[in-house]
Amino acid sequence: MDPGTTTGLAAIDLCGNVVDTYSAKDLSLSQIINRITSLGKPLVVACDVMPAPRLARKLASTLKCRLFEPVSDMKVRDKIEIIAGHGEPANWHEKDALAAAFFAKKRIAKTLSKVDRAVAGSDREEIKYLLLSDRARNLTHAIELIGGDRR
């Protein structure tokens, strides 16, 4: 997300497909939550600046999602590079939000790959959710929580 007077939102799925980009002026937290949850179950909230703005922290907390923020503010050049080939968002607010989403995807790629290698079937997505939302300590714990088996 890119909070501000005009708030930019972007949603991608775990495969890196752009699900939605959106921006509007004076969005309330409840409007943001409604927009995001209408798209599916959110796993992370990401922003492109450090420290994360208060609205991003509040959104992550309310949605019970992990918050991703860069070590330092993302540079425009890096944002352009990370969103290249993923469509053309309408404005810079949406571009910033989309760059933050792909930044988070890059940071969680190792965890997602580990789950894909270790778990088969319908349990995969639930295990990813448990791990990314910090509801499970590790892969073994996530498997135990859902009562599933490895491959």
For residue 135, the model assigns a pLDDT of 86
Paired strand residues for 10? 21
Domain ranges of the chain: 6-108, 119-151
For residue 95, the model assigns a pLDDT of 97
Cα separation of 26 and 18, whole Å? 24
Checking 50-55 for CB contacts under 8 A at 24+ apart, the result is 53/3, 53/4, 54/3, 55/1, 55/3, 55/7, 55/29
- pLDDT tens per residue across span 35-93: 999 999 999 999 999 999 999 999 999 999 999 999 999 999 999 999 999 999 999 99
Q: Is the pLDDT of residue 123 over 60?
A: yes
Q: Are 63 and 45 in contact (CB under 8 A)?
A: yes
